[in-house]
Amino acid sequence: MWLKPGGKILITDYCKSAGSPSLEFDEYIKKGGYYPHDIKAYRQMLEDAGFDDVIAEDRTDRVCLSLKHTLQQELDALENKKGDFIRDFSEEDYNEIVERWKAKQTRGASREQMWDLCCCMRIIDETNHQIAMAVNIFEENVERLPRVAAVGDVIVLCCVEVKSFKGEVNATFDKRFSSFGLYKGKDGDDLDPYHVSSYFHHIREDESLIVKLRKWLMNFQPHEDSCNFPMLREIKEETSVNLACKILHFCEAAKDEWIIFAWDGTNTPPNVICSKLEEEINSPLPLQLEPLPLSREVLCTLPVVGSILRMTFDADLVKSHLHLLNVDKWVKFMNMRLKVADGLWLGVFTPQSKLQYTPNEDGLIVERQRLSEEWLFPKPSFITEEVNQDHAIPVTLMTVLTHSEVVTAKFKCVVRVVAATPCQAENLLSSTGEYRMRLTLEDSTARIHAFVTAKDGEVLFDGYPDIDELTRKLNILLGVNEVKDAPRNPPWVCVCLKSFCVSKTDVWSSRTFKIFDTKIVGDT
């Protein structure tokens, strides 16, 4: 749009008024990515953008009055036709609508938000499956929105408005008169809907269409471009991406805070470590993003190769999506936000994200399964060497954690040393002159703590070098730069691990790890 010099423009937008919104509602708005300004700040923003003679005013009273008038007109019209409505539907439906509209009037009078929730669905049939039609469904709360049990289920939509916008046809569900019914898809055989809206009435004429769609779905294979679904090994921080992953597990990490564990068989890229080494004692790097580690029983059900991506929900989305989660099923996540927390990857399911279950026969899924079988270890540097363990075959840290034959066992791993306690060379020896330190190790599958003590420390540091040489070797291992407090990128190194128990009464819960037969020999 072009505005000629001296021209005028009217901008209508949501702003904060003197007494609203509440702090709670303000936080809710910000979670959706919106940052409403007050009138004064909005005017200043327009002036900074180059507009002159800006007049900003609060029109809340006029808007609320208009909404109140419109709602009252609709309510009067319904009450005038009360008898006809009850005859066509029911008195229960009539009372529900009247109560909802009166509640809207109350919210309008008190200036509370009057927004509806929106669910966007993509639908296809045998006549149009190359480009799915968008259907926007508006309702007052989550419970009224369609709760689709699985992709491929059948939906019957009645009295929706179909429009064309910029060459794309879409439909709008108006809660005042539209209705829907959800039926099982290709795996179903009954003709009873499992979820319906308030005004929906099942009619026999629809049954033949439902059966026809189910038969068509049996052989339908959607085409998806793999370029639109990067693998976990290709992800980048602070981006929104589409992912095709298998749900391995999900659990409530804290009250109303759920975590999904997703996997596609590839390794997530290693991240730089931004935490300061000297803070490790009081604020150690976590071994996992969830507050408590998974039980050994659950841990042993997870794959031992490939990264497991933790995913969380924005707070207001949790309950509306939990029913869609099924363990051991492949899913396409659309528009997932990715970030890094404490050096670990985290996916966030936002209001803009979508979830779609996908059959194992899908081309993307077949590709992911093949790649998991071709998994390779990262190439280690020549900083360390194994002493007397050259013949050992490397395993992942997840293999170490899930090892169940005996508590005491030996392993060879390719890892990064992301933290150390203590981290100063002068503090590595105890009062008796022996090495004692704890290292935090990570690979693409897990993080663990491993101790270095006594003679194992002598082997690692090649005896007892002076403080400068000890500092140099420790910095190499931890990826410390010459610039103070700069992010660290620890190198991949080979280490030998030994597991043992601290308590014979609870051998598996007290299982601990130490580094042995490993020596620092080089700089790169």
210-237 pLDDT per residue, tens: 999 998 888 776 666 667 889 999 998 8
Q: Domain for residue 2, yes or no? A: no
Amino acid letter, residue 447: R
Q: Which helix (H) or strand (E) holds 124?
A: strand 117-125
Query: Rounded distance, CA 38 to CA 40, Å?
Result: 6
Amino acid letter, residue 3: L
Q: Domain for residue 313, yes or no? A: yes
Q: Classify each residue of 462-479 as buried b or exposed e, where b means 16 or more C-beta atoms within 10 Å of its C-beta.
A: eeeeeeeebbbbbbbbbb
Query: Rounded distance, CA 162 to CA 160, Å?
Result: 6
- Return the number of other C-beta atoms located less than 10 Å from residue 418's C-beta: 25
Q: How confident is the model at residue 361 (pLDDT cuts 50, 70, 90)?
A: confident
103 in Cβ contact with 59 (< 8 Å) = no
Q: What's phi and psi for 184, nearest 5 deg?
A: -65, 150
Instruction: Please identify, among 338, 373, 408, the residue that sits at the C-terminal boundary of a domain.
Output: 373
Kindly state the average pLDDT of the residues 24-38: 60
Amino acid letter, residue 249: H
Condensed to tens digits (0 to 9), the pLDDT of residues 61-90 reads 665 555 566 667 767 777 777 887 777 667
- Tokens for 197, please give them: 């809206």
Q: Which of 50-64, 385-399, 414-428 is least confident?
A: 50-64
516 in Cβ contact with 388 (< 8 Å) = no
> Sheet of 154-158: strands edge to edge?
154-158, 179-183, 195-196
Q: What is the pLDDT of residue 353?
A: 83
Contacts of 374 (CB under 8 A, 6+ apart): none
Q: What is the pLDDT of residue 168?
A: 79
Q: What is the pLDDT of residue 294?
A: 93
* 351 plus 395 within the same structural domain: no
* 411 plus 436 within the same structural domain: yes
Q: What is the pLDDT of residue 25?
A: 55
Q: What is the pLDDT of residue 453?
A: 95
Q: What is the pLDDT of residue 1?
A: 45
Kindly state the average pLDDT of the residues 384-407: 87
Highest mean pLDDT: which of 95-99, 266-270, 274-278? Answer: 266-270
In 267-413, which ranges are continuous DSSP H helix? 296-299, 318-321, 363-373, 397-402
* 256 plus 210 within the same structural domain: no
Q: Domain for residue 54, yes or no? A: no
Q: What is the pLDDT of residue 100?
A: 64
* 209 plus 233 within the same structural domain: no
436 in Cβ contact with 427 (< 8 Å) = no
Q: How confident is the model at residue 99 (pLDDT cuts 50, 70, 90)?
A: low
Instruction: Please identify, among 350, 373, 396, the residue that sits at the C-terminal boundary of a domain.
Output: 373
Counted domains in the chain:
5
**Which has more confidence, 215 or 361?**
215
Q: Which helix (H) or strand (E) holds 217?
A: helix 207-219
**Which has more confidence, 189 or 202?**
202
Residue 139: helix, strand or coil by DSSP? strand
Highest mean pLDDT: which of 92-96, 152-156, 288-292, 440-444? Answer: 440-444
In 32-124, which ranges are continuous DSSP H helix? 39-48, 60-80, 82-88, 91-109
Condensed to tens digits (0 to 9), the pLDDT of residues 468-497 reads 999 999 999 999 988 778 899 999 999 999
* 134 plus 42 within the same structural domain: no
* 145 plus 255 within the same structural domain: no
Contacts of 155 (CB under 8 A, 6+ apart): 121, 123, 146, 148, 180, 181, 182, 183
Pairing of strands 128-139, 117-125: antiparallel
**Which has more confidence, 320 or 487?**
487
232 in Cβ contact with 267 (< 8 Å) = yes
Q: Domain for residue 192, yes or no? A: yes
Q: Residue 422's domain is classified under what CATH number?
A: 2.40.50.140
* 102 plus 232 within the same structural domain: no
Residue 522: helix, strand or coil by DSSP? coil
- Tokens for 50, please give them: 């180059």
439 in Cβ contact with 449 (< 8 Å) = yes
CA angle 166, 172, 177 (to 5 degrees): 150
pLDDT above 70: residue 397: yes
For the chain, what percent of residues have pLDDT higher than 70?
80
395 in Cβ contact with 412 (< 8 Å) = yes
Amino acid letter, residue 27: E
Condensed to tens digits (0 to 9), the pLDDT of residues 102-156 reads 665 555 555 444 556 778 888 888 887 777 888 988 887 777 888 887 777 899 9
CA angle 149, 152, 157 (to 5 degrees): 80
Q: Domain for residue 90, yes or no? A: yes
Q: Domain for residue 53, yes or no? A: no
* 433 plus 401 within the same structural domain: yes
Instruction: Please identify, among 341, 373, 405, the residue that sits at the C-terminal boundary of a domain.
Output: 373
Q: Which helix (H) or strand (E) holds 244?
A: strand 239-254
Q: What is the pLDDT of residue 225?
A: 60
Taking the whole predicted model, whether its pTM rises above 0.85 is answered as no
Query: Rounded distance, CA 265 to CA 373, Å?
Result: 8
Q: How far is CA 405 from CA 90, 254, 295, in A?
A: 66, 32, 17
Highest mean pLDDT: which of 278-282, 416-420, 500-504? Answer: 416-420
Q: Domain for residue 3, yes or no? A: no
pLDDT above 90: residue 366: no
* 138 plus 103 within the same structural domain: no
Q: What is the pLDDT of residue 509?
A: 86
* 393 plus 498 within the same structural domain: yes
Contacts of 45 (CB under 8 A, 6+ apart): 37
Q: What is the pLDDT of residue 518?
A: 95
* 439 plus 361 within the same structural domain: no
Q: Domain for residue 245, yes or no? A: yes
Residue 173: helix, strand or coil by DSSP? strand
**Which has more confidence, 445 or 96?**
445
Amino acid letter, residue 301: T
* 366 plus 394 within the same structural domain: no
Q: What is the pLDDT of residue 495?
A: 95
Residue 120: helix, strand or coil by DSSP? strand
Q: Which helix (H) or strand (E) holds 457?
A: helix 454-460
Kindly state the average pLDDT of the residues 281-298: 92
DSSP class of 435: B
Residue-number span of the structural domain to which 207 is assigned: 117-219
What's the alpha-carbon Rg for the chain, to the nearest Å? 30
Query: Rounded distance, CA 18 to CA 209, Å?
Result: 55
Rounded to the nearest integer, the mean pLDDT of the chain is 82
pLDDT above 90: residue 338: yes
Phi-psi domain of 166 (left: phi exceeds 0; alpha: psi -120 through 50; beta: other): left
Q: What is the pLDDT of residue 257?
A: 82
Q: Which helix (H) or strand (E) holds 409?
A: strand 409-421
